[in-house]
Amino acid sequence: MSTRSIYKLNFGQTKVIIYRHWDGYIAVGGKDFASLLNHYKKGEDLIKGMLNRQRGIYVTDVDQPLYSLEYTDNIGQDYEYIVKLPTFEANNKMAVEVRERKLIEVNGEYQDKWTSIYKKSGAREDVVKDFLNYCSEEETKADNAYRARLAGAHA
């Protein structure tokens, strides 16, 4: 089973939706995306960098893309990364929001409920640094929870 995510990138009049099928949660997909935001300063370069990234986890995945362009923003994703990128150097403002989907039961029916789990705007460098730190903290929490489960299984 996959944790799907989409990345809604907005810069100027340009809006691009990019899909990631595997590991879209904060600790992996978020951290990877935060590192890409840190590396690529321009929206066009970020998109090229994402689309050229390969999965490379298993032998059968070598040369398979990790990200792909999408034409809709509703593909049953579990996470949404919504980013407003600076359009030119003089305008250094940026915004990042991460939303997580949960299924809730309402009157015997299941519905999607989206919750914002991270949101920050400001100077590009500050937002990217904060987002990268947040994702790293989530990665540490996930690793610690995994280790605790292993320790409990072997006790």
- What is the rounded distance in angstroms from the CA atom of residue 117 to the CA atom of residue 94? 17
Provide the 3-class DSSP secondary structure of residue 17: strand
Distance between start and end Cα atoms, the chain: 28
Do the strands 67-70 and 79-84 form a parallel or antiparallel pair, or are they unpaired? unpaired
- What is the rounded distance in angstroms from the CA atom of residue 20 to the CA atom of residue 7? 8
pLDDT by 10s per residue, the chain, length 155: 589 999 999 988 889 999 999 899 999 999 999 999 999 988 889 999 999 987 766 666 666 788 999 999 888 899 999 999 987 665 789 999 999 999 888 899 988 899 999 999 999 999 999 999 999 999 999 999 989 888 887 76
At 24 the pLDDT is 93
Position 110: which residue type? Y
- Are 1 and 25 in contact, with CB atoms under 8 Å apart? no
At 61 the pLDDT is 61
